[in-house]
């Protein structure tokens, strides 16, 4: 296990790249402030350097809130904003859950014995999909406006206002759910906020 000092690279940190991507994002992005103690502990736990986008997000942010809160990317956590840390969302070994969306969709960084890539658990199919890109490419795409294309079939009229009013520890529950025939028209379904943990557990049934 590498020591904290070996994981922090001040001279070659990915943070300036991420900061520039946030500044140029075409949708609202909030960078939650990091608590130094929690950030150090999270970086040690994940064992990646700050040269990587994952390490920089973990060490320099409490998390990233993208596109009115539709996508929440885990960093070192923010109690004030009610966003869990990467460690809190990954209490056991396995694919690393790196982000969730407001519908309970999940993004995980997994290797499966090969090159690590981002996988997405889709709330409208209840299946994992390999996006075949790494963490840095995935986050750059989402910050660059990718949420609009990626979620084109999962949005409804007035979604931005509803999502912005949802807490970061909440998801929006749809009924009928989007994996059913009756739930495909998201303008016609019932929508209400629920705890994110509840949304994730229901999708695992």
Please tell me the predicted confidence (pLDDT) of residue 109.
95
By the 10 Å C-beta count (0-12 exposed, 13-18 middle, 19+ buried), 35 is classed as: middle
The reply to whether 32 falls in a domain is: yes
Q: What is the pTM of this model?
A: 0.95
The reply to whether 15 falls in a domain is: yes
Query: Of 136, 156, 175, whose CA–CA distance to 57 is shortest?
Result: 136
Domain that holds residue 89: 4-154
Distance from C-alpha of 18 to C-alpha of 88, rounded to nearest angstrom? 23
> What number is the average pLDDT over the span 121-139?
96
- Structural tokens at position 189: 């379904």
> What number is the average pLDDT over the span 49-68?
97
The reply to whether 133 falls in a domain is: yes
The reply to whether 179 falls in a domain is: no
Please tell me the predicted confidence (pLDDT) of residue 10.
83
33 pLDDT exceeds 90? yes
> What number is the average pLDDT over the span 183-200?
95
Please tell me the predicted confidence (pLDDT) of residue 30.
98
- Structural tokens at position 127: 């299946």
The reply to whether 122 falls in a domain is: yes
Give me the percent of the chain exceeding a pLDDT of 90: 87
The reply to whether 175 falls in a domain is: no
CATH label of the domain that carries residue 124: 3.40.1580
Confidence class of residue 205 from pLDDT cuts 50, 70 and 90?
very low
- Structural tokens at position 24: 């140029």
Tell whether the torsion through CA atoms of 124, 204, 100 and 103 is positive or negative: positive
By the 10 Å C-beta count (0-12 exposed, 13-18 middle, 19+ buried), 155 is classed as: middle
The pLDDT tens digits for 134-191 are 999 999 999 999 999 999 999 999 999 999 999 999 999 999 999 999 999 999 999 9
Instruction: From residue 105, give the alpha-carbon distance in Å to each of 40, 71, 186.
Output: 28, 9, 16
H/E segment holding residue 101:
strand 96-101
Higher pLDDT pick, 93 / 137: 137
Q: How many distinct structural domains can be found in the chain?
A: 1
The reply to whether 37 falls in a domain is: yes
The reply to whether 203 falls in a domain is: no
């Amino acid at each position: 296990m590498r020591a904290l000092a070996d994981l922090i690279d001040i001279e070659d940190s990915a943070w300036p790249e991420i900061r520039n991507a946030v500044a140029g994002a075409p949708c609202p992005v909030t960078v939650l402030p990091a608590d130094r103690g929690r950030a150090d502990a999270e970086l040690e736990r994940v064992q990646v350097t700050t040269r990587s986008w994952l390490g920089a997000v973990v060490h320099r942010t409490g998390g990233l809130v993208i596109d009115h809160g539709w996508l929440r990317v885990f960093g070192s956590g923010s109690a004030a904003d009610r966003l869990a840390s990467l460690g809190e969302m990954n209490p056991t070994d396995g694919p690393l859950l790196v982000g969730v969306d407001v519908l309970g969709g999940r993004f995980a960084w997994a290797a499966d014995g090969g090159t690590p890539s981002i996988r997405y658990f889709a709330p409208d199919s209840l299946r994992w999909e390999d996006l075949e890109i790494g963490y840095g490419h995935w986050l750059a795409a989402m910050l660059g406006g990718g949420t609009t294309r990626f979620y084109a079939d999962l949005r409804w009229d007035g979604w931005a206002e509803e999502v912005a009013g949802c807490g970061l520890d909440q998801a929006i529950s749809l009924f009928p759910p989007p994996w059913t025939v009756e739930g495909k028209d998201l303008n016609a379904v019932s929508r209400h906020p629920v705890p994110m943990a509840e949304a994730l557990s229901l999708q695992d049934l």
